[in-house]
Amino acid sequence: MPRQVRFFIVAVVAACLPAIVFVHLSCDTALQTYALDIDGVHGIPLERLLWRQGVYPITGVFAGGAYYDWADEAYRSQWYIPALITSGGRLIVSGRSSDDGVAAVITVPRPELSILDVAPTAGGALGLKGDFDGRCVYPANATQVVVIYVDALGWQRYEWGRPAMSNLSALGPAPAIDVYPSISVVNAAALVTGVMPERSGVDRWERRTMRTGVDNVIDLAARHGVSAAWIDGPRPPVTTATGIISLEDADGDGTTDDEVTARAMAEYEAGTRLLYVHLRGPDRALHASGPYSNRSLAALAQADAQIGTMVRSLKPGTLLIITADHGGHDIAGGKGEHGTLLPEDMIIPFIARAC
Ligand SMILES: [Zn+2]
């Protein structure tokens, strides 16, 4: 193995799926900014290196003679998975140390569609051109564009809840990939900018402000005289300069999704040309009771009813996009979390179609 190549994937066994990818464990200075302290260990999360190398989604890691099932590791962690690469090139996973300098990572196929495609597709339909990392996946001219994104509706969760999601399943969504870490602030920025987290500057929970000079379709629309709004509950996960409509739970029923749905339809009727609509119920249910609980099923059904209400009111000439920011996985205590490179967290439904 040529040692001078610092990020060198030494082999890809692609004859069958899932694949095993060998990853050389060393971190350059660009990765040092992501250093964390977990359980008394200081290092770069292995997932950061894998994300940078394009090795995702993953289901397991072999290192130092041990196998780590990634869902099990995620189940036991509350946030970042405790798999860190130390400055000496040692990999420490859940307290076990390996100094082999290489890990074998189990990956599963990655969808071609991406959350980064939303902004270029929405913008493209309205004649807004930007410097996107994603692609326009549904070339169309539209009088209005409606982007509905359901918080924490992973593909696996959607498939599980499909019997309760007749409106969404009738539209036939396809799987798409989100960006790492698979959390709301990072993926909300990806949804609206169409650029990678490292470019937008919104690449972790603590960094929500987009870098100066990075464009987003809401502000791009405003500059071109195209009316646009991002309709959300309190403390929206994005920081566009214009267009944010943040609603309170006016009727006190414990969710803003009904207020958001009603406002979205009012904005649509009033002719607002670009709408981002954030439904949050499934994320709350995920954190409270796990992705596959009765409460989660009810939340998915609720979101699907709101999708149905909006979709039925759309007129010809509208481009509809429905997706999610991330999925979620089980954690100890009957709860749920997201943020990892697991397919449950990273693969989301995606639909773009003209009405
Ligand atoms: Zn969440």
What are the per-10-residue average pLDDT scores of the chain (355 residues)? Answer: 50 60 90 91 95 97 96 90 92 92 96 98 97 96 98 98 98 98 97 97 90 94 98 96 97 97 98 98 98 98 98 97 98 97 98 95
DSSP state of 314: P
Q: What angle do CA 108, 350, 116 make, to 5 degrees?
A: 80
Cβ–Cβ < 8 Å for 23, 49: yes
Give me the pLDDT at residue 30, please: 87
Q: Phi and psi of 151, rounded to 5°?
A: -65, 125
CB atoms within 10 A of CB 313: 14
Ligand 1: centre distance to CA 249 (Å): 19
Ligand 1: centre distance to CA 339 (Å): 8
Ligand 1: centre distance to CA 295 (Å): 15
Token readout for 316 is 């010809």
Ligand 1: centre distance to CA 184 (Å): 6
Ligand 1: centre distance to CA 52 (Å): 23
Ligand 1: centre distance to CA 285 (Å): 9
Ligand 1: centre distance to CA 305 (Å): 21
Ligand 1: centre distance to CA 328 (Å): 8
Ligand 1: centre distance to CA 168 (Å): 21
DSSP state of 205: T
Ligand 1: centre distance to CA 201 (Å): 20
Expressed in angstroms, the distance from the first to the final Cα of the chain is 53
Ligand 1: centre distance to CA 121 (Å): 25
CA 213 to CA 18: how far, in whole Å? 39
Ligand 1: centre distance to CA 340 (Å): 12
Ligand 1: centre distance to CA 326 (Å): 8
Ligand 1: centre distance to CA 208 (Å): 15
**Residue boundaries of the structural domains of the chain:** 9-107, 115-354
- Report the candidate in 174, 157, 183, 201 with the shortest Cα–Cα distance to residue 291: 157
Ligand 1: centre distance to CA 325 (Å): 9
Return the SS3 of 26: coil
Ligand 1: centre distance to CA 152 (Å): 6
Amino acid (one-letter) located at 223: R
Give me the pLDDT at residue 7, please: 46
Q: Give the position of tokens 């207020």.
A: 259
Torsion angle, CA of 234/235/239/245, rounded to 10 degrees? 10
Ligand 1: centre distance to CA 338 (Å): 6
Ligand 1: centre distance to CA 14 (Å): 33
CA 147 to CA 86: how far, in whole Å? 41
Amino acid (one-letter) located at 305: A
Ligand 1: centre distance to CA 248 (Å): 19
Q: What angle do CA 133, 339, 85 make, to 5 degrees?
A: 90
Ligand 1: centre distance to CA 2 (Å): 41
Ligand 1: centre distance to CA 71 (Å): 17
CA 55 to CA 102: how far, in whole Å? 14
What is the 3-class SS of 12-81, one letter each residue? Answer: EECCCCCEEEEEECCCCHHHHCCCEEECCEEEEEHHHHHHHHCCCCEEEEEECCEEEEHHHHHHHCCCCC
* Pairing outcome for strands 91-93 and 96-98: antiparallel
- Report the candidate in 89, 99, 102, 16 with the shortest Cα–Cα distance to residue 62: 102
Q: Phi and psi of 281, rounded to 5°?
A: -50, -45
* Pairing outcome for strands 228-232 and 91-93: unpaired
Ligand 1: centre distance to CA 265 (Å): 25
Q: Give the position of tokens 């074998």.
A: 104
Ligand 1: centre distance to CA 180 (Å): 14
Q: What is the largest CA-CA distance in the chain?
A: 64
- Domain 115-354 superfamily per CATH: Alkaline Phosphatase, subunit A (3.40.720.10)
